[in-house]
Amino acid sequence: MTRQALFAKRVFFWGGIYGILVLTPLYFMEEMLARDFPPPFSHPEQFYGFLGVALAWQFAFLLIASDVRRYRLFMLPAIAEKLLSSISTLLLYAADRVVAMTAAPAVVDLVLAILFIIAFLRCRKLSDSEVG
């Protein structure tokens, strides 16, 4: 495996593992979050819907890591997932609409988005060098 492919594999693997570790406990924290960050959720289906979609993406990251050449194009929506989420949250923080505790994971996601972009670009070099 080339250095470029190994880099991409590690970035997506550890990105997926990190996400699973961070998101899974939230399924059991609705009451605590409602108490510590009032008001309680008026639409819990949105909270659990977000968690479900976000957790599904972590498994997609693990799939990408399993074969970065084959799943290279899936890196594009993975990048979008990280950028859309992190930038939205950071803009909300800048507007004083969310607390720093909410913004901190968005910074991690922004770093992951940058690493995903680098992985995508490095894998392009793999594809170009393999052709002809």
pLDDT digits (tens, 9 = 90+) for 24-58: 999 999 999 888 888 888 889 999 999 999 999 99
Structural domains counted in the chain: 1
- Containing structural domain, residue 84: 3-130
User: Which one, of 54, 83, 71, 94, lies nearest residue 12 by Cα?
Assistant: 71
pLDDT of residue 38: 81
CA distance 124 to 96: 39
Neighbours of 8 (CB within 10 A): 28
What is the DSSP secondary structure assignment for residue 27, as one 8-state letter?
G
CB contact at 8 A, 71 and 64: yes
Mean pLDDT of all residues in the chain? 92
The yes-or-no verdict on residue 8 having pLDDT over 90 is yes
pLDDT digits (tens, 9 = 90+) for 85-95: 999 999 999 99
